[in-house]
Structure 1
Amino acid sequence: MRFKRLKLRNIRSYREEEIHFPEGSLLLAGEVGAGKTSILLALEYALFGLQPGQKGSSLLRNDADVGEVELELETNGQVVLIERRLRRQSKGVSNEYAAITIDGEKIESSLTEIKSRVINLLGYPSEFVKKNNLLYRFTVYTPQEHMKQIILEDAETRLGVIRHIFGMEKHKIIKANIGAVVSELRSRVRAMQSAIAELEREKEELKTRVDSIAALERALKEKKAELAERTSLRRELELELSRLEEKIKEKLELEKGLERTSILIENKQANLKSLEKEIKELNSTLAEEKTHFDEASYAQLREELEHAAKLIEECRNKRVSISATIASLERELAETTQKRDRIFKIDICPTCLQSVSERHKHNILLESEKKLSEAKKKLSQMKEEIEKVIAQEQELKARLSALEEKKLGMELLKSKSEYFSKARARLSNLEDGRKMLVKDISSLQSYLNNLSNKLREFDVFDEEFKRKRAELEEVMRSEKRIEIELAEINKEIALSEREVERLKSRIKEKEEIAKKIEKYNEFSHWLSTSFLSLVELIETNLMFKLRQGFSEIFRKWFFILIPENDFDIQIDESFTPIILKGETEMPYEFLSGGERTALALAYR
């Protein structure tokens, strides 16, 4: 890692400053309070942010609310720019913003994420993301007041820092990982041993299942032979029944023919009986025939009826005409009377507006009386005439009624005459039909007797059919039973085979597990003995060489810083400094301030 540029704004004693770091070694020199420590603290803040326990107010300038740090560096061939910002708030000074730009790609994220990226870039252990970076403090920047801290730390912490610094932590991690792996392997072995606990029992069960399948297959073979025998017998019976069914069908056809013939005979006998009854009734009816219908008299009667109806129509028309005349005369009488009465009441003519004289009124009265007399006379004549027309019309209606009654009698006679004529023709037809029916019944009776004789020949097939069908049903039931048994055996074989496959699979899996257990045990034993011993030996040798080199440099720097003294210093196995004065070990606290500082600087 090489620092290239540092930009400060409102950081401790710096209000606005940009520092460019040259290549090679660099010495920060200046008076007390010149700002040397501020630069080192700003570098640390830029890299890791505020450390646990560090207050932002120790970095932010007292008269400022916002402080910023920008650090450009180069590491592993990458150019990195880190930006951080502090802000003063009511509760104190805190981180407000952080960003990192790697080879031009800027990432703005949380403070923890930025710190994690920086630690990863610089190759520090990830454990320092959430705690103080002791490696940085002890190897890059150690404040003066913290120089002796590494000396005063407990042996385990100090040894841990040394391991981190010189890359020896991996041996400790390897040993821890060996323990974790061995523990995990043992845990897996225990789990796998539990998984294969039933292995022997499952092998015995597999053998039992295989023997059971062999027995089932023998039983299956026997049942198949029995089924083949039953199937052959069933087919023979089916053929025999098929032959018998044909005979039964023939018998059924004969029975149907017998039944149809019987029904036909019954129907013809019923028809014959009906014909004979009808013939008897027709003979009785024809015996009642006495008078004959006269067509000429019937035609004359119809002419008389037409003439009478015509006369009645003429009377009706005449009556209507006279009634209209009477109504007209009555209207005329009423109008003339009203006119006469109105004339006697007026004195001035409404047309000419002149006075109407009594003479004129008398002339009008005479004229009106004359018209009234003539109308009354004519009205009386019309009434007498309409009475005559009404009387004539009633007489004609009475005659018409008598003629219609006579016509009805003649039509009835005509109808009877036609009926008797049809009855004689029907009687002739019925006699012919009766003869044919008698002949048909005789033929059908003969055919019926033949059918009955044939049916008796088929009676033997019924019993044989019933017997064969019973045998077939029994064979089919036994065949069905054997098929069910075969299906059950096949099902049991399939289930057993599936169980055998399952057991084989489980046994194979458990045998594989047993092999794994053996391998795990071998590997676990190798890790916990040979490999762990090798790692410890390597670590011991490396730590011994490291301690030798560390001790030489430590002694060299200590004697450079304090050339004239009677001390001897050594480094023990925990890298703790041992100060000897003669044969006596001197505690660190008994040293002078200069001696303690020289010891801390040499150790650093």
Structure 2
Amino acid sequence: MLLRQLKLSNIRSYIGETISFPDGSIVLSGDIGCGKSTILLAIEFALFGTSRTDLPAELLLRKGTLEGSVELTFQLQDKEIIIMRKLKKDHKSIKQVSGFISVNGEQKELTAVELKSEILNLLGYPEELLLSTKNFIYRYTVYTPQEEMKLILQDNADIRLDVLRKVFNIDKYKSIRDNLQIYLKEMRTDIAVIKTRLEPLPEVMEKVVILSGEKEKLQVGLNQLLVPLQDLRGKINVQRQEIEIFERQHLEFLKLQQEQKMKFMLKETKGRQLVELQQQLENFEHKKTNLPEGLDKERVKMELNSLELQTSEVLQKKSSLQERVQQLQQNMIQEKQEIRQLEEQTSVYIEKEELLLGLKKMVDEGNILESQKKKLDEHFIQISSQISMNQTLLHQSKQLQQKILQLEECPMCLQNVTHDHKSKISHVESEKVAGAEIILKNLDMEKVEVLNRQQEVTTKIQEWNLQKNLLTKTEVELGQLKEKQHSLTIKKERMMNLITQNNQIMQEFSVVTLINIEDLQLKIKTHQEMMQIILHHEQMQQQITLIKTQKENIMQELTILQDELILVEEQLKEKLDLTEMVKERRLQLQDVMEKEKTLAVEEGRLKATILNFENQENDLRLQIVKFKKMEVELKSNQNLYRWLDGFFMPLMYTIEKHVMIHIHNLFNQLFQEWFDI
């Protein structure tokens, strides 16, 4: 890479400077603070941008300025590259803004990070330096900042090695060794922990053997207990079956007894019902009366319906007429109120017409006022223009007087200006000033007069506008009054129709009132009493028929019950009462079940103990499996530890040593070539 040119703008001590680099070796010399280091920092900034730790933006931008930039031109192989970076200050901090890079004339606008990526790619630097905040390779291979080389040479060997590792990007070998030491330490801890966890393994295996022996003993006892227990359970099943047979026979005996009692009680109940029905039948026969002659149910029913229908029609018509009369009267009252309101509202119609005629005459005069106002506005503009022109002339004359009085030499002919010439020109300009002041005074007076006339005309126009608005309002009000007059005419016609309808309804109502409702209601009552007599007679007849039917049914049921009672008594004679035998067999079953319960409890205890021992044994065997896995893990960790500590660690030392020797040989060869020149 060959540097060609560097342009600085507001960078540290440089306000605006262009530095060209010739071919060959270059020495930067000068006093302290003259800007030698600034050139190197500007080159680093152009290539890699700012860095918060090594090259902050605040270190580069000139104090008191808001923007700065660096443009670097260099040659890389057969490419001419121009890169430009910018700095900008805001109210909080100084930041990098977008710049550009040009390769053989092809320019690209890029952000600060994108510019750094392009440069790293062109120079062949590692990609991981893109996110690094330190430019070790550039700083310690291209140039070393002031005083830092001295510190490097005077530090101890370990620090110098660390610097070389960072410069040549081979500190990864030391990082591997450091990380490996940490990992080996953790492995030693893990191995010690596993050994500690494996200490209970012999004790656990001994417990497994003991539990197996105890479990075998309990199993032998359980097998000995099962034989008598099975015998007892067999006896229990046999006795339960015998008891079930006896209980079924006894239950059949009890059911027959219960059925006998129920049928006997039902027979007595039916007998009492039969007596009661006979008494009711006699009462109804005694109460039953013959119907009067000439009573026909259908005829009476038809006459009653006709009377009720006639009465209902009269009442409905009367009610309907009353409702219609009330509705008409309400409508008439409402129409009267609306007519009264409309008459009051339309009473001012003549006054509004007279007002409208007067307003139309006044509105016609407004056009003359607008013409006067337009002329006054034009006159005011002319006066203002003349005033402005005269003020300009007055100002120019006064300035000319001042310049002439101060002028000693003519700018055109370069001769001295005499006092007489100054006085002559000053006199002429004074006359112009006096004339302009008189004209301005007259124009001001005329302007005041025009303004007063404008104000008067404006006031009259405002009044005219008010009258014009009043005219529009009056026209609208007259339109509304005409509509109300039309509505008033319609409502009066409607009122006459309502009065006519009311008279017709009142005539119909007088006709309806002539019908005697009380006579109709009396006839209806008489027919209703006749219907009640007929219905009562029919009900009595129905009750007698029903009682006779019930009486026959009960007598048939009594015959059936008597036959069933005889059959139940014959079945009871064939059955035995087994109550005592069932009790005796139950006591025997209870004794056997007590013995079985004792043996079953012992069986459950033995099984629970065996199951507990099995669970403990399974848990211990699971622990043994875990311990075996831990032993395998321990052996694996020990083998890995021996390999890492005995082989891999020395290998990292050897690789780093060979790399350092290779770098040393390369630099030794380069230095020999340089100094041989």
TM-score band, normalised by shorter chain? 0.3 to 0.5
Q: Which has the higher helix share?
A: 2
How does the TM-score come out when normalised to structure 1? 0.47
Task: Using CA pairs under 8 Å that are at least 6 residues apart, name the structure with larger relative contact order, 1 or 2.
Answer: 2
Q: Give the structure with higher Rg (CA).
A: 1
